[in-house]
Amino acid sequence: MGNGKSGKKPKRHVGQYVASGDWSDYWSTSISRAEQGNIRVRGYRIEELIERLSYTESAWLLLRGELADERETALFDLVLRSGMDQQFINSAACAARYTASATPDSPVPALASGMLASGSVTGSPQEPAEMLIEGVALELEPAAAAAQLIDTWIERRGAVPGLGHPVHKQGEPRVLALRRLAGELGGWNEHGQLLDAVEEEMARRKGRLIPINLAGALGAVLSDLGFDPLMTGGLGALSYGMALLAHVVEEIRDGVPLRIITPELGASYTGPADRELPGGAAPTGRGKGGGRNK
């Protein structure tokens, strides 16, 4: 599948179908085919896949179109299990629980809310993957590529993706485990090594360590595995999905219905002081005659 930089089909648009009148391939997919009594996924019988593949192997086949080898399976499984959970530090968990407190009838709206809160600020690996793929394409030594990437991304976004954590200042525990195990599996390669160089260059410039975070490490491993950054972003959200489900069910069963934010929890008003409209105080009631529409 690659990085999505080459081999892509030309973009289709509805105008071409309207103009030609040929809608034969308007709805098409290379993922699966379903007919009476027969379901094929990437060409394989679904019964055989259910019988013989693990969840990780099935997910790889769905996303990449071909079966993973043993090393790819091990690395992909490592990615999918490495997120786990970190209490309320991830805003996606807070968003999911807040929604669950208001919609306790089903976990699905809250799960969706948590997924929607997965982005560049909450730890999506998409931007780190984009940065690292961009850096590898420079074909420079890691140190030189890292310096150029830092300058580019600070100018572009004001920050370097894949570095920093609000709590873990000397090393993110999940990253330390992921990086070590990925290295043992031969999965910390040019993208991972470039991320190491970015961390080192930032430490040199700042005079202190700004450690690789989980989004950065996931972006590196998935890029080394050849995943498109767009897919990498989705995998970041999906890998945290089980934690979200755990939070949602706990909130529904044991949480506080309709959570609020009080002054004691940090709610504060920073707007104008109390004031009145010009021409005197606003009336407290509508007076005789009732409403505005007469």
How many CA within 13 A on the CB side of residue 109? 11
Mean pLDDT of the chain: 90
Range of the domain at 227: 126-241
Q: Is residue 195 part of a domain?
A: yes
Both 131 and 230 in one domain: the answer is yes
Main-chain phi, psi angles of 242, to 5 degrees: -65, -40
Q: Which residues make Cβ contacts (< 8 Å) with residue 48, sequence separation at least 6? A: none
Region 12-17: mean pLDDT is 92
Q: Where are the alpha helices (DSSP H) in 117-228?
A: 126-136, 142-157, 173-184, 190-206, 214-224
Both 161 and 59 in one domain: the answer is no
Give the DSSP H or E segment for 99. Answer: helix 91-102
- Give pLDDT, residue 119: 77
End-to-end Cα, the chain, rounded Å: 67
Region 84-105: mean pLDDT is 90
3-state SS string for 199-213: HHHHHHHHCCCCCEC
Q: Is residue 294 part of a domain?
A: no
Here the CATH number for the domain that contains residue 203 is 1.10.230.10
Both 236 and 138 in one domain: the answer is yes
Which residues lie across from 103 on neighbouring strands? none
Report pTM: 0.86
Contact yes or no for 221/188 (Cβ under 8 A): yes
Number of domains in the chain: 2
279-290 pLDDT tens trace:
876 566 555 554
Residue of 120 and 130 predicted with greater confidence:
130
Rounded to whole angstroms, the Cα distance separating 272 from 63 reads 52
Both 142 and 237 in one domain: the answer is yes
Domain termination residue (choose one: 193, 218, 241): 241
CA 108, 109, 114, 119 torsion: positive or negative?
Answer: positive
What is the per-residue burial (b if ≥16 Cβ within 10 Å, else e) of 250-285? ebbeebeeeeeeeeeeeeeeeeeeeeeeeeeeeeee
- Give pLDDT, residue 5: 45
Give the DSSP H or E segment for 41. Answer: strand 38-41
Q: Which two tokens stand for residue 91?
A: 């805003």
121-152 pLDDT tens trace:
777 899 999 999 999 999 999 999 999 999 99
Least trusted range by pLDDT, from 39-53, 58-72, 118-132, 230-244? 118-132
152-181 pLDDT tens trace:
999 999 999 999 887 877 888 999 999 999
Q: How far apart, in Å, are the Cα atoms of 154 and each of 35, 147, 150, 159, 169?
A: 51, 11, 6, 5, 20
pLDDT of 271 > 60? The answer is yes
DSSP one-letter code for 10: P
Q: Is residue 146 part of a domain?
A: yes
